[in-house]
A = this chain, B = another copy of it.
Amino acid sequence: MTREQSTNTLADLIEPYLDGIERDLKQWLVEPDAPAELAEAMRYCVHGGGKRLRPVLVLMSCAAVGGDPRAEPPRRCAAAVELVHTYSLVHDDLPAMDDDELRRGRATAHIRFGEAMAILVGDALLTRAFALPATLREPPGGPLIAELARGAGAAGMIAGQVADMGLCTVPEDIEGLNFIHMRKTAALIRAAVRMGAICAGADDSTLDALTRYAENLGLAFQLTDDLLDVVGTPEQLGKSTGKDSAGGKRTLIAETGIEQSRRRCTELTRQAVVALRPIGDGAGPLRKLAELLAERTH
């Protein structure tokens, strides 16, 4: 029986990867010469109980195309992507941005350490993320860093946050929401999946297939997040709910209703799974992950 067949929950599927991811994050997060107070704040933010979806995607994608997810290149990429994700949460939670006091059931960084430290911790996490693959030689770090920067940068995740904050013009329809979701969430997920595959030496057509998987998965993931914000409870999510509509933010749910959003989520997940067909059996865990993510309640 393969691992895929024996897992019926998201936690089961992700669990085998978690120890290694946590160990690598601990080992690689802080340079020895960093001030203790800064190091403590960085650890608080990184070891705060996230799902580790993005690093798992790096490792699963590497394995899907025949690479060894226990090798150092995919592990460094996995840690790097999680640091980018964590920095984005720290900065998004700031008073000038989403002004959130609770994250994963704990005080956000600026509540715990003050606003100046939260800004600097985010900056330090982002910088460290790029340092981790920089030392790789085979495959070389440069192209991996280019992928990460593209997913995280001004045409990727940051563009999504700029749009989400209403700081740039976006059409007030499904296309506009798609624009935001593709950048805010799918861009970094795409980088994660591509980095894992690049570590395994994937060819261009395989990278294309995995890119389509990642983009559909990312859109479905953000849509599920928005759905849970409407129908979930704070206890399930470890953060305040109803925030999107309360804050006047447009969400696909508000635009089209809960049922239609659920159908769109199912369709995106189906497209993600279809995209994996050329990859073969190795993509089993990626397929299962897409299916289980669409069913999650937190």
Interface centre among A96, A133, A169 (most CB of B within 10 A): A96
Interface status of A1 (Cβ within 8 A of chain B) = no
| Contact of A149 with B163 in the complex, beta carbons under 8 Å | no
Check B120 against A42 for contact (C-beta < 8 Å).
Answer: no
- Residues from chain B with a CB closer than 8 A to the CB of A123 are 87, 91, 122-123, 126, 158
Query: Distance in Å from the Cβ of A178 to the closest Cβ of chain B?
Result: 14
Give CA–CA (A32, B155) in the complex, Å.
8
Binds B, one of A19-27, A139-147, A198-206, A230-238: A139-147
| B120 and A162 contact, CB distance less than 8 A | yes
What is the CB-to-nearest-CB distance from A26 to chain B, in angstroms, rounded to a whole number? 15
Copies of this protein chain in the complex: 2
Contact of B91 with A167 in the complex, beta carbons under 8 Å:
no
A39 lies within 8 A of chain B by Cβ: yes
Residue of B with least CB distance to A113: B167
A22 to chain B, nearest CB (A): 19
In this assembly, does A150 line the interface, its C-beta being within 8 Å of a C-beta of chain B?
yes
Residue of B nearest to A126 (CB): B126
> Is B34 touching A159 in the complex (CB atoms < 8 A)?
yes
B residues less than 8 Å from A177 (CB atoms): none
Find the residue from A94, A117, A158, A167 having the highest chain B CB count within 10 A. A158
- Evaluate whether A158 and B96 lie within 8 angstroms (CB atoms) in the complex, with A119-B91, A136-B142, A140-B142 already known: no
Within 8 A of B (CB), among A38-53: 38-39, 42
Contact across chains for A145 and B167 when beta carbons are under 8 A apart:
no
Task: Assess the A153–B127 pair: CB atoms within 8 A.
Answer: yes
* CB closest chain-B residue, reference A160: B35
Closest 3 CB pairs of A and B: A141-B142, A131-B149, A96-B115
